[in-house]
Amino acid sequence: MTDPQNQTNDPKKQMNFEINQVINQPYKYGFTTTIEKEIFPKGLNEQIVELLSEKKNEPDFLKSFRIKSYQKWLTMKCPDWANLNIKPIDFQEITYYSIPKQKKKLNSLNEVDPEIIKTFEKLGISLEEQKKLSNVAIDAVFDSVSIGTTYKEKLAKSGVIFCSISDAIQFYPELVKKFLGTVVSPIDNFFGALNSAIFTDGSFCYIPKNVTCPLELSTYFRINDKDSGQFERTLIIAEKNSQVNYLEGCTAPKYSENQLHAAIVELIAFENANIKYSTVQNWYSGDEEGIGGIYNFVTKRGVCIGKKATISWTQVETGSAITWKYPSCTLIGKESSGEFYSIALTNNYQQADTGTKMIHLGEKTTSKIISKGISCGFSKNSYRGLVKIGSNAHCSRNFSQCDSFLLGSSSLACTYPYLDIWNSSSIVEHEAKISKVSEEQLFYLTQRGISVEQAISLLINGFCKDVVNMLPMEFATEADKLLSLKLEGTVG
């Protein structure tokens, strides 16, 4: 008889092993594209800021916006209040401008370097309009520059402007001047000021009055260069009675150095306008030892200026070594409303400090926060949210639900809700829950023939369902896939 001890020495170890195998799935998007590029010397100073502005042939207002932001940035300090361990960032070691070299100005997508087109195809994003999803217009950003925007003409017919922010600065300077920096002031925070000084590209959308944007708008950000940071800037303006759905996706190659990504997104919704902004963030998160990965410091903010305006943020955050991000809504218009739906997944040594701010200033304003944090491995996952009800925000309401899910016994989940209420006729509710995958749940599911890997993915998808359901169809599928790919952790 064989010794049965060798066969099933420790089934628990076997189960953990299986789970570990799934955790260590390689990052699919970690490849690099070799292209000829034009870069600035490393480091940041006033000359670099000026050079950038001149290179991009920007109007004076923008140049002085940048320089003022830079000067302010010099006086600011990197924030340390978040629940994050960050190695000091050497801002002089970063390249602030890196663009694929072009011999002449591009007139159409056909003239884009085939290597770059291939890169986006490898990422599942085809820039050839005819082959693409028929209802999404895409702006593709490669390192510091927008590569191309699809469906421009079709959008233009309905009056929608969707282009790179660099183009917007050239062709619609009055709109940019009027709105840029009005939601996130250049002096708002350290990374915001840095972005305001040095932002290289990003997307611009303008939805005129009474227009429902006929396509979903989408930007895909790709960091390719090893030493360059990505500082993009997105500005979306929705005029009275207009509507727009905006999607954002991000990936980066695998490098052992950390790369910096400091973006700003500003949303402006006028009376009865509706902006829905969805993100699937899958920047490279570093390896299983915590080496490398993107530092993701993002300031995203929206303002509901008009009556009954709505801004809705949905985010699926699975990548980055460090995520520092609080998409917010300032609710000024009467009966305006803000929503925040978030899934943040951290694995290995990833750290996320993310959440939202809902600032109620107008009467009868409402906000809803649903946050789902999943921590695996040795990661740290914090929800940080502020609900502020101003003294004039009579009869306002907030509902918050912050759930955490722990996989394994070495990860950390924290919730920091801040409530700042100045109006007694308003109602604020907060719910929080923490759950863990139990061995008994896994046993039950495996007994029914479902593998451990599938079982965990099923449990996590169940946990995230409320938020995934908020995503547009194409994104929901992508998010589901991404979650299944990245979700698994250790069961302790």
Partner 1 sequence: MNNILLTLKDLEASIENKTILKKLNLEVKENEIHVIMGPNGSGKSTLSKVLAGHPSYKINNGSIVFCTKNLLEMSPEERSHEGLFLAFQYPIEIPGVTNYDFLRIAYNEKRKYLKESELDPLEFMKLTEVLLKKLKIKSEFLNRNLNEGFSGGEKKRNEILQMLLLDPKLIILDEIDSGLDVDAIKIICEEINKNISKNSSLIVITHYPRILNYLKPTHVHIMIEGNIIKTGNMELVEILEKDGYQGIF
Which residues make up the interface to partner 1 (CB under 8 A)?
A: 1, 4-5, 7-12, 14-15, 435, 438-441, 443-452, 454, 458-459, 461-465
Q: Position 471: which residue type?
A: L
CB 442 to partner 1: min, Å: 8
The b-or-e profile of 386-411 (16+ CB within 10 A means b, else e) is: bbbbbeebbebbbebebbbbbbbeeb
CB 282 to partner 1: min, Å: 23
CB 373 to partner 1: min, Å: 15
Q: Of 3 and 80, which CB lies nearer to partner 1 in the complex structure?
A: 3
Closest residue by Cα to residue 491 from 2, 22, 8: 22
3-state secondary structure of 109: helix
CB 412 to partner 1: min, Å: 22
Q: Of 64 and 451, which CB lies nearer to partner 1 in the complex structure?
A: 451
Q: Of 410 and 435, which CB lies nearer to partner 1 in the complex structure?
A: 435
Region for 147 from its dihedrals, namely left if φ exceeds 0, alpha if ψ lies in -120 to 50, beta otherwise:
alpha
Angle made by CA atoms 359, 360, 364, in degrees to the nearest 5: 160
Closest residue by Cα to residue 470 from 343, 341, 384, 357: 341
CB 438 to partner 1: min, Å: 7
How far does the chain reach from its first CA to its final CA, in angstroms?
A: 33
Where does residue 436 rank: exposed (0-12), middle (13-18), buried (19+ CB within 10 A)?
Answer: middle
Q: Of 427 and 434, which CB lies nearer to partner 1 in the complex structure?
A: 434
Backbone CA torsion sign across 281, 271, 369, 415: positive
Q: Of 102 and 435, which CB lies nearer to partner 1 in the complex structure?
A: 435
CB 10 to partner 1: min, Å: 7
Q: Of 465 and 481, which CB lies nearer to partner 1 in the complex structure?
A: 465
C-alpha R_g of the chain: 23
Q: Which helix (H) or strand (E) holds 222?
A: strand 216-222
Fill in the DSSP letter of residue 228.
B
Could you give the CA distance from residue 222 to residue 251 in angstroms, rounded to a whole number?
Answer: 5
CB 288 to partner 1: min, Å: 23
CB 209 to partner 1: min, Å: 41
CB 410 to partner 1: min, Å: 19
Q: How far is CA 158 from the centre of its chain?
A: 28
CB 462 to partner 1: min, Å: 2
Where does residue 456 rank: exposed (0-12), middle (13-18), buried (19+ CB within 10 A)?
Answer: buried
Residue 276: other Cβ atoms inside 10 A:
20
Contacts of 482 (CB under 8 A, 6+ apart): 280, 282, 316, 318
**Beta strand pairing status for 258-269 and 293-304?**
parallel
Could you give the CA distance from residue 232 to residue 248 in angstroms, rounded to a whole number?
Answer: 12
